[in-house]
Structure 1
Amino acid sequence: MRKIKIVIIFLFLLSLQGFSYQFYGIPYLKKIDDFSLIDHNGNKIKFSDYRDKIVLIFFGYTFCPDVCPTTMLRIKHTVENLGKYKKYIKVLFITVDPERDDPETLKKYVSFYDKDDIFVGLTGSPEEIKKVAKIFRAFYEKVPSKDNPDIGYLMDHTAFIYLVDNRGLLKLIYSPLKDNPERIAEDIIQIIKMSGLEK
């Protein structure tokens, strides 16, 4: 397995030789194992269903008061900056609060940011969410809300945006300090061109 990983990394680095574009996101290279969750229409989907797309993934929750709405707006603006290339991407909003985020709640939430049927809200059992978060090394935990007991609790969670290419490779990560929509869109367009998706 270690030899396979080394070969993949070597081929990736080799493919970048002579390629002068500097990616805005933090470079990363990890094969993402397939997983299954429930989408906002109540259908069971596999991550591999999006293998013909460049996928942006964000872990959040609909009750989030600040970080999630801000990040989702950044992703929305990223999609708007893609122009003709938006047809090659999907955005997966994976809840870290499956107790409250059922498919209907997620559908209302993602539809606010989505005009082109690109955003997909995903939920599942707490065990399934935990398993998927572990794949991406995404952190989250329940925090009691002392200031607003009506809410009950908030979720402390990782605020990264993950970019996975059409081969299922995690390529780039965007932190809250690196979430410029125009620059992320430029990265996506370059990866689309490199991946051979463009027709």
Structure 2
Amino acid sequence: MLKNRLVAFMVLLFLWTGISQSHQFYGYPYVQKIKDFTLIDHNGKKVKFSDFRGKYLLVFFGYTYCPDVCPTSMYRIKETLDRLGEYKKYVHVLFISVDPERDTPEALKKFISYFDPTGKYITGLTGTPEQVKKVAKQFRAYYKKVPVKDNPEVGYLVDHTAFIYLIDKNGIMRLIFRPANEDPEKIAEDIKYVIKYFGE
């Protein structure tokens, strides 16, 4: 079983290396199969990662109380979606909360409405601290509570990675966009290329 998985991974890596040579990616090329998981969406409904199979996904870990990084990153994602043109219909965004204690479905719904008033393109996800930790581990996403001693009303902030992950329609991570990848036009071009290569 392990040998078969290793062979499959090497094939994927070989193919992806070939793709990377034919296109100068703005994001960081990566190959990783994401295992299925279950969380709660912004409507209070249980959803599985596999429910989004067939869509290209942009995944971001953040939280609604975030004062700067998350709104900025989500706006960059919104701008990216707006630049996808006809390819926008193949892409969906998952905003996964790293602050499940405060990020209720209601809080998530209000937050994502600023970036997707239609509710068609972005899904907010939360869960128990254990569930979120398990999902974040798959993506190697770091987060940690930081107490705010001089502002008891806020209580704490959350330090976290601000990567945007591109997952293909089969649940395989293909690209990682770092905070320095701030150009929505270039991010959109990468996404279009991946969709063209792997199919709509």
Task: Quickly say closer, same or farther: Cα 1:101–1:11, change in 2 above 3 A.
Answer: closer
Distance 1:158 1:16 in 2: 26
CA distance in 2, matches of 1:126, 1:154: 15
Residue 178 (structure 2) pairs with residue 175 (structure 1)? yes
CA contact (8 A) 1:9 1:29 kept: no
- 2:10 counterpart of 1:9: yes
TM-score normalised per structure 1? 0.93
Q: CA deviation at 1:15?
A: 6.1
- Number of aligned positions between the proteins: 197
Amino acid at match of 1:176: P
Deviates more, 1:41-50 or 1:14-23: 14-23
Partner residue in 2 for 1:35:
37
Residue type of the alignment partner of 2:100: P
Work out the CA distance in 1 between the residues paired with 2:60 and 2:16. Answer: 27
Residue 68 of structure 1 is matched in structure 2 by: 70
**Superposed, which structure 2 residues align to 1:83-162 within 5 Å?**
83-116=85-118, 117-162=120-165
Could you tell me which runs of 5 or more consecutive residues in structure 1 were left unpaired when the two chains were aligned: none
- RMSD, aligned CA: 1.6
Q: Is the 8 A contact 2:12 2:31 kept in 1?
A: no
**Alignment counterpart, residue 58 of structure 1, candidates 57, 60, 70:** 60
Q: Distance in 2 between matches of 1:11 and 1:123?
A: 31
User: Identity over the aligned pairs, expressed in percent?
Assistant: 58
Deviation of the 1:14 alpha carbon: 3.3
Q: Following TM superposition, by how much is the alpha carbon of 1:23 offset from its aligned partner in structure 2, in angstroms?
A: 1.3
Counterpart-to-counterpart distance in 2, 1:11 and 1:94? 27
Counterpart among 75, 78, 81 of residue 79 in structure 1:
81
CA offsets 1:133-160 (integer angstroms, 9 cap, x no match):
0110111111101242210100011111
8 Å CA contact 1:76, 1:114 repeated in 2: yes
Structure 2 unaligned residues grouped into runs of 5+: none
Aligned to 1:21: 23
